[in-house]
Amino acid sequence: MSETGALDSLLHEDRRFPPPEPFRRDALISDPAIYDEAAADPEAWWARWAAELDWYEPWHTVLEWTPPHAKWFVGGKLNVCHNCIDRHLEGPRRNKAALIWEGEPGDTRVMTYYGLHRRVAKFAHVLRNLGVEKGDRVAIYLPMVPEAAIAMLACARIGAVHSVVFGGFSPDSLADRIVDAGAKVLITADGGYRRGTLIPLKNNADRAMEHTPSIEHCIVVARTPSTARELDVRMSAGRDLWYHDLMRDIEGGVPCEPMDSEDNLFILYTSGTTGRPKGVVHTTGGYLTQCQATTRWVFDLKEDDRYWCTADVGWITGHSYIVYGPLANGATVFMYEGAPDWPNRGRFWHLCEKYGITVFYTAPTAIRAFMRWGEEWPAKYDLSQLRLLGTVGEPINPEAWMWYHEVIGEKRCPIVDTWWQTETGAIMITPLPGVTETKPGTATRPFPGIEAQIRSEAGEEVKAGYLAVTKPWPSMLRTIWGDDERFRETYWSKWPDTYFPGDGARTDDDGYFWILGRVDDVLNVAGHRIGTMEVESALVDDHRVAEAAVVGKKHDVKGQSIAAFVTLKEGHEPSTDTADELKQHVVEKIGAIARPELILFTVDLPKTRSGKIMRRLLQDIAEGRAVGDTTTLADPEVVRRLQQRYEEG
């Protein structure tokens, strides 16, 4: 949503939704006093949560804070896989469904905690036999199949550090991430289903592995055996191994490796303001503590819930709220492989009915697509099991919030609008569904134990400005993989000892936080973070392009779409074909999520006298607004010509 949209809703929003009485009565938390209790001593508060996990050795210090580096539960030893699986095997959860899965073609699988344990322990053994040791990196490039969770948990079991790469990324993007992390093993699949077609993951992986000398083995899950002949999957002898062969031949599992609370659990790459994605590093004890706490309280998670988070495991939401948070709580997680509109636009609601989903967590961009597809789709299905709805990924516009509330939640379900990031690891600002009175468009208040403020550039607390997190929190990123300087520079240089998330925010009379969106050169396209510089680098990588500038353009469903202003080198003429080829080039370099919607050719780009491209101005042009003050431009004529071109279409 645009900043002005959020502002309008903030200024005019007076609809209030207290927790519905029946919900409040049964909620795990309904007493607002817990906010004060947590604020009185946040370290003691988080230590109480950490104590809900199983530890091999207790910590001696809750928090060691030498800004910008924090260590949580120092000296403690635990294993994430043990806490997500093994410890549930003792009691009645042994035979409880841990994962219920449906593939896009309609195939289904159910794994109990016992069954999940057996597979994870065996696969951990496989990895160890291939020479994967504690601290080694393992790249995972899989569709949304149970093996994605199994692979992550198997890494955690032996102390290997996973780096999951979203299956929609290109071979180049995959290769960059493997090289940066120095991964030894790559786990992929022959293919995956998306809107009825096969995504050729192994072929992509082969192209990536031409540039990844660190990879010793590639393990391939046979996801599409009956249809995959058309994918022409080739196995390179010695390097490539079938998952099912390895699992058949291995004898038994391996136990969990006791890990230091501050040992690395995973790396996850995300976009920033430079062309190179950054490897966000998360560790063990603090991460799991906050995942467990937020999953339980934000989603009011109970033993008999059937919980569905629609994210892909390739993003942080999939890590924390499909795998680690829910399984640490012993929940039943539903996982779906494919697209929401396949074979028709009722698929999600059909799944909710079929599996009796009670808690549903998705993104505003999906909600806006559902709105556009019409109420007739959810109306065909029985959604009466749903009791709680969540959103994440971008600001939710009030119309979408109200539609979600009325059409999907049938006015019965509270909505939790959760603000957080890859870097924060877990939810930071959110309603508690049995406590908080919600308003459409605001993530409301920091989770108990979290402290946030809205600050000016100078660091004063203000009503509108930048979001700031003022105290360390357990699941915070520890560094950027291989680049601690970038970690300091990006997040900790704006104000002393305070985390800068890169978002703008406002507050209202209730003290609620209204997140307005990114204030840096990061776009949010359909809930995916994409750096403008990444797309620019992909464009100038084409031999015809001299210079490119990328901006976000308001989009009704995606929130933002990508608009690129391109200058061609001498001897190349703009044409629709060239524009299409450039779009395709970006898809090949990064992935389909980065495809520019609009390419506009220009002879020059508007720059300040110091040579900085004026993105604000380009955005005004892309969004068709009047161009503002141009006096700081080197050549104001450029803008006039650009705008004319735009208006001519």
Is 417 annotated as ligand-binding? yes
> How far apart are the C-alpha atoms of 580 and 597, rounded to whole Å?
10
Q: Strands 97-102 and 332-336, how do they pair?
A: parallel
Is 421 annotated as ligand-binding? yes
What amino acid occupies position 520? Answer: D
Can you tell me which of 300, 394, 536, 542 binds ligand WTA, judged by CB under 6 A? 394
H/E segment holding residue 266: strand 264-270
- Counting contacts by CB under 6 A, is residue 442 touching ligand WTA? no
Is 625 annotated as ligand-binding? no
Q: Give φ, ψ of 251 to 5 degrees.
A: -100, 110
Sheet containing strand 598-601, strands side by side = 545-555, 559-568, 598-601
Nearer to ligand WTA, 261 or 421 (CB): 421
Residues 6+ apart with CB under 8 A from 316: 268, 270, 280, 420, 421, 422, 425
What amino acid occupies position 52? Answer: E
Q: Minimum distance between the CB of residue 317 and ligand WTA, rounded to whole angstroms?
A: 5
Is 433 annotated as ligand-binding? no
- Counting contacts by CB under 6 A, is residue 392 touching ligand WTA? yes
Q: Minimum distance between the CB of residue 436 and ligand WTA, rounded to whole angstroms?
A: 14
Query: Cα separations (Å) of 29 from 26, 330, 355, 405?
Result: 9, 18, 26, 21
Q: Minimum distance between the CB of residue 494 and ligand WTA, rounded to whole angstroms?
A: 14
Nearer to ligand WTA, 116 or 181 (CB): 181
Can you tell me which of 79, 294, 422, 507 binds ligand WTA, judged by CB under 6 A? 422
Is 503 annotated as ligand-binding? yes
Is 242 annotated as ligand-binding? no
- Counting contacts by CB under 6 A, is residue 420 touching ligand WTA? yes
Is 395 annotated as ligand-binding? yes
Q: Minimum distance between the CB of residue 407 and ligand WTA, rounded to whole angstroms?
A: 20
> How far apart are the C-alpha atoms of 502 and 532, rounded to whole Å?
14
Nearer to ligand WTA, 133 or 457 (CB): 457
Is 518 annotated as ligand-binding? yes
Piece of the chain touching ligand WTA by CB under 6 A; list 196-204, 342-350, 389-397, 448-456: 389-397
> How far apart are the C-alpha atoms of 9 and 515, rounded to whole Å?
12
> How far apart are the C-alpha atoms of 424 and 34, rounded to whole Å?
22
Residues 6+ apart with CB under 8 A from 647: 624
H/E segment holding residue 78: strand 77-78
- Counting contacts by CB under 6 A, is residue 368 touching ligand WTA? no
- Counting contacts by CB under 6 A, is residue 421 touching ligand WTA? yes
Q: Which of residues 287-346 bind ligand WTA (CB under 6 A)?
A: 315-317
Q: Minimum distance between the CB of residue 322 and ligand WTA, rounded to whole angstroms?
A: 12
Nearer to ligand WTA, 518 or 607 (CB): 518
Query: Cα separations (Å) of 387 from 99, 327, 396, 411, 503?
Result: 20, 20, 20, 10, 30
Is 36 annotated as ligand-binding? no
What amino acid occupies position 51? Answer: A
Is 472 annotated as ligand-binding? no
Is 310 annotated as ligand-binding? no
Tell me how crowded residue 34 is: count the other CB atoms within 10 A of its CB.
Answer: 16
Residues 6+ apart with CB under 8 A from 4: none
Q: Minimum distance between the CB of residue 395 and ligand WTA, rounded to whole angstroms?
A: 4
- Counting contacts by CB under 6 A, is residue 270 touching ligand WTA? yes
Q: Which two tokens stand for residue 272?
A: 């920033």
What amino acid occupies position 80? Answer: V
> How far apart are the C-alpha atoms of 180 and 173, rounded to whole Å?
11
Is 197 annotated as ligand-binding? yes
Is 164 annotated as ligand-binding? no
Q: Minimum distance between the CB of residue 505 and ligand WTA, rounded to whole angstroms?
A: 9
Q: Minimum distance between the CB of residue 216 and ligand WTA, rounded to whole angstroms?
A: 30
Sign (positive or negative) of CA dihedral 122, 126, 129, 132: negative
Closest CA to 622 of 603, 640, 599: 599
Closest CA to 642 of 583, 564, 525: 564
Piece of the chain touching ligand WTA by CB under 6 A; list 133-141, 161-169, 393-401, 560-568: 393-401
Tell me how crowded residue 612 is: count the other CB atoms within 10 A of its CB.
Answer: 10
Is 596 annotated as ligand-binding? no
- Counting contacts by CB under 6 A, is residue 591 touching ligand WTA? no
- Counting contacts by CB under 6 A, is residue 263 touching ligand WTA? no
Helix (H, G, I), strand (E, B) or coil at 638: helix
Q: Which of residues 447-506 bind ligand WTA (CB under 6 A)?
A: 501-503
The pattern of x and - marking residues 518 through 537 that bind ligand WTA according to CB under 6 A reads x-----x----x--------
Nearer to ligand WTA, 420 or 646 (CB): 420
Is 519 annotated as ligand-binding? no
CA atoms within 13 A on the CB side of 21: 0
- Counting contacts by CB under 6 A, is residue 517 touching ligand WTA? yes
H/E segment holding residue 550: strand 545-555
- Counting contacts by CB under 6 A, is residue 515 touching ligand WTA? yes
Q: Minimum distance between the CB of residue 616 and ligand WTA, rounded to whole angstroms?
A: 18
Nearer to ligand WTA, 215 or 400 (CB): 400
Q: Minimum distance between the CB of residue 411 and ligand WTA, rounded to whole angstroms?
A: 21
Name the residue number minimizing CB distance to ligand WTA.
Answer: 422
- Counting contacts by CB under 6 A, is residue 279 touching ligand WTA? no
Where on the phi/psi map is residue 604: left (φ > 0), alpha (ψ -120 to 50), or beta? beta
Is 540 annotated as ligand-binding? yes
Closest CA to 520 of 638, 592, 423: 423
The answer, yes or no, to whether the previous bond of 343 is cis (omega within 30 of 0) is: yes
Nearer to ligand WTA, 370 or 419 (CB): 419
Residues in contact with ligand WTA by CB under 6 A are: 270, 315-317, 392-395, 417-422, 443, 501-503, 515, 517-518, 524, 529
Residue stretches of the annotated binding site? 194-197, 317, 393-395, 417-422, 503, 518, 529, 540, 545
Residue stretches of the annotated binding site for ATP? 393-395, 417-422, 503, 518, 529
